[in-house]
Structure 1
Amino acid sequence: MRGPASPGWLLVVLCAATGAYCLLRMRSSVEEQRRAAGGEALMAFGMAAMAVPAAVPAPPRWAWLAYTAVFGAAAVRALWVARTSPHHVHHLVGACAMVYMAEVMATAPGHHSHGGSGVPLLTGALLLYFTGYVLRSGLRLLPMGSVAGGAGTVGWADRPELSQACRLSMGIAMLAMLVTL
């Protein structure tokens, strides 16, 4: 990604830590949570790899094509699963955004291929979507009344507030990556 190295490395660490927590969530006793966590882990580690600052030598073109293939396959899977699970519509948009960013990076030396001025339409649409997603995710973290107690001890893999915080940080990371296009 283009931009200063320090924020780029912080973005890499944030995405990698989010991916690691998503792997931990795959140990959940709830099947839907395990399934969602796998897709989110793929997304987080892919974002970490894409966010490596420009100070590091750029990967070869085939690496970006590999990202396109992996996230294209993830988009097809999310499209299939989205038939029954609305949460996977977001996974579909995220995977398509990753395909888009990989294509932009594959076609442009220095990761900046948009001719003309202004923000390309697709980048702008993705920025709007992820801004809304981040705001919605942030609101979901706010306490809304009293929480029913006595549910017993919840393991780290089943903490809804942590998984929501991970989704929020991945949304913020996606915004940061899209802005650098």
Structure 2
Amino acid sequence: MHGQTMSGWLLVALCAATGAYCLLGVRSGRGQDREGAAGEALMGFGMAAMAVPASVLAPPVWGWMLYAAVFGGAAVRALWRARGSSVHTHHAHHLVGSLAMVYMALVMAPGGAGSGHAGHTAGYAAGGVPLLTGALLLYYAAYVLRSGVKLMPVAAGTAGAGGGTFAWGARPELALACRVSMGIGMIAMLLTV
């Protein structure tokens, strides 16, 4: 990410905090919840690493290729988990997120599609935004809006229902808030591509 230094550090903090919270979900979750939290932790920490301002740390080409390989592997895993799973659309979201990270790693790499003049006009919309970037921006905007609506309180009487122990890693509203913040972070990163 080659934006302003302050906004880059804010994005690093947001994504790292989200990744750390998702690790709590890995520790306290079970089954598919645990696997989903692990994927989201990987995404949060990967986004934090990619968002470090280039003025502070400019990864070498192999670093960007490492990002692409890690998230390529995560995309294959998400594709494997999503096959035949019509109920769990969250796997498809992880697939889109992982592929978006691969795309950004390849574009941000020195000599990548976004840094050279070779493919500068190929795949761009009339306004100058690459078609894939525009499609990903639309996807994440819709995802953030849809997920954000789910955070709206339903009724005052249902707050705190269920009682019992207070476990930070098992709070569905916090997990959803983390997904919204990572979606917003992804929009911010895509805007700089």
TM-score normalised per structure 1? 0.93
Q: 1:30 to 1:56 in 2, by over 3 A?
A: same
Which of 80, 89, 93 is the matching residue for 1:90? 93
Structure 2 Cα separation of the partners of residues 173 and 141 of structure 1: 18
Which residue in the other structure is 1:156 paired with?
168
Report the residue type matching 1:36 in the other structure: G
Instruction: Report runs of 4+ in structure 1 exceeding 3 Å deviation.
Output: 111-114
CA contact (8 A) 2:109 2:115 kept: no
Report the residue type matching 1:173 in the other structure: G
Report the residue type matching 1:147 in the other structure: T
Which residue in the other structure is 1:78 paired with?
78
Map 1:86-125; keep pairs closer than 5 Å: 86-108=89-111, 112-113=115-116, 115-116=120-121, 118-125=128-135
Q: 1:57 to 1:155 in 2, by over 3 A?
A: closer
How many residues align? The count is 180
Q: What is the percentage of aligned positions where both structures have the same residue?
A: 63
TM-score normalised per structure 2? 0.87
Where structure 1 has 5 or more consecutive residues not aligned to the other structure, the ranges are none
Q: Render the CA deviation track for 1:23-52: whole Å, top value 9, x for unaligned.
A: 111112432211100000000000000001
Structure 2 Cα separation of the partners of residues 150 and 177 of structure 1: 38
Which of 160, 168, 179 is the matching residue for 1:167? 179
Q: Render the CA deviation track for 1:1-35: whole Å, top value 9, x for unaligned.
A: 11110010000011001011111111124322111
Q: Render the CA deviation track for 1:71-128: whole Å, top value 9, x for unaligned.
A: 000000000111223211000000000000001012447x644624610000000000
> What is the aligned-residue RMSD (CA, Å)?
1.7
* 1:128 lines up with 2:138 in the alignment: yes
Deviation at 1:152, TM superposition (A): 2.0
Q: Render the CA deviation track for 1:109-151: whole Å, top value 9, x for unaligned.
A: 7x64462461000000000000001111111110123427234
Map 1:11-30; keep pairs closer than 5 Å: 11-30=11-30
